[in-house]
Structure 1
């Protein structure tokens, strides 16, 4: 296999020792570097253009990605954080910088010397101690939903902080993405319980408040194409004819105009639209 291709199967970056162990010769490595298809960081790390800036920074600074930076690399749902979160050893010499958030603590589980991304156990512990509740819970939900961890594992981990325990207790497996987690968390603070993934009329709805108030959340991706949009509107129409009130919000509204979302839901509840009795006599 070509060195560049091999590196790209390893997130675009690997230690020279790993490349040698994989069967690449020193000559092959030098040849790829001379052709500028492969570059180096700290002389011992080999990377291609496909590697992320965060991974290259971790290699250059002698650390590994943790917290939300590691979660992003592992494909978990995160709320954007412009900083690179880096786990470093206690004796590391790393200059503080505005774009870096350094994590000095002992990891929950050991990590190999040439690993640049924290395992899910370590990154969740770091997130619990570093991030605000909302930014942390979306990652916890995503980790459980993706199968990276289970509820049982979260409850059994040692050295868990109070913040970690709170997050573990609040974690749900029903959110397809963080955009569905946030309304549940925010409404819970108001004393409003929203059931998730309830089957009505043969289809799952994102959220149900009371008996009759349905909340649907359109995130990026699956809700963006015209065919899916038409399907969603058809479902909304069927639910309305069955006596439900359907409130549909998109990614932008949840992330950047939550006051509107909250006010709309509270208005509907004030009018009793979440109650079964509200449909009688229509």
Structure 2
């Protein structure tokens, strides 16, 4: 047996692999029985085995008769995915769809064979198109584009079986978006007819997430966890420099974007109604000249 190949197969499946995969990697039935007896592997479904360190969601998906896919698989592929991670998204072979299980994820078009315990990025994405709303689809695609996991032409291929309405969402994607909450903020403001620029470089300040008009900067935290003390200090120093130049800075947390958007939107719209976003700003060169 080529133990390296078996280890690689198990690693690729986040600790879960089929007997077919293990056999192709060089494992014999005797070695499989020994591994099970020694608790190095355990059977989670007929023909599928897991290590003691296997990912819990992957084990759950395989135990339920399918493989991990859709939003759950995208998260393991390190794609920014909206919503809770508590639900395990599973998709199964065509025969399983004829059973009593009603929670399998589906893609546009025919179901595919199970090749691994977790779907590759493209297969997971195709299944996510049916589980996400329009905003969620754009958020996920922004993350994929930003990390250069796929390019726009690749996404176009994956969307071909989807309805025209879904395919048109690619026109709203932005590869510059640094987080899902940034994407959400951009999309929600644009849906109100507000012009928003992404990842704007401001001399003396640096790159900011979003700019509305000439003088309203919106910075968006990408995750629910707090940043380090060092990053906190850097962010506030950037805010101070921006204010010094005449900008208004709104810094939004993950929680505010995801759970308190109505209040956030009211604040932004109030600033826009008062034309605060159109106030003139000072060029950095002018500020330096005045100081001297």
TM-score of the two chains, using structure 1 as the length reference: 0.86
SS in 2 for 1:96: coil
State the match for 2:116 in structure 1. Answer: 115
Query: How far 1:4 moved relative to its partner?
Result: 8.6
* One of 87, 99, 104 as aligned partner of 1:83: 87
State the match for 1:171 in structure 2. Answer: 173
Whole-Å separation in 1 of the counterparts to 2:99 and 2:133: 25
State the match for 1:32 in structure 2. Answer: 35
User: 1:28-107 counterparts in 2 under 5 A?
Assistant: 28-79=31-82, 80=84, 82-92=86-96, 93-96=98-101, 100-103=103-106, 106-107=109-110
State the match for 1:14 in structure 2. Answer: 17
Query: How far 1:144 moved relative to its partner?
Result: 1.2
Query: How far 1:18 moved relative to its partner?
Result: 1.6
Per the alignment, do residues 128 and 253 of structure 1 end up closer, same or farther by CA in structure 2, a change over 3 Å counting?
Answer: same
Query: How far 1:219 moved relative to its partner?
Result: 2.6
SS in 1 for 2:73: helix
Q: Are 1:41 and 1:56, in contact at CA under 8 Å, matched by a contact in 2?
A: yes
Whole-Å separation in 1 of the counterparts to 2:88 and 2:207: 37
CA RMSD of aligned residues (A): 2.6
Whole-Å separation in 1 of the counterparts to 2:18 and 2:246: 61
Per the alignment, do residues 4 and 118 of structure 1 end up closer, same or farther by CA in structure 2, a change over 3 Å counting?
Answer: closer
Check if 1:190 corresponds to 2:192.
Answer: yes
Q: Cα deviations across residues 153-190 of structure 1 (Å, max 9, x unaligned)?
A: 23355323123213211111111121111101111111
TM-score of the two chains, using structure 2 as the length reference: 0.83
SS in 1 for 2:54: coil
Query: How far 1:221 moved relative to its partner?
Result: 7.8
SS in 2 for 1:147: coil
Check if 1:243 corresponds to 2:246.
Answer: yes
Unaligned runs of 5+ in 1: none
Check if 1:128 corresponds to 2:129.
Answer: yes
The count of corresponding residues between Structure 1 and Structure 2 is: 275
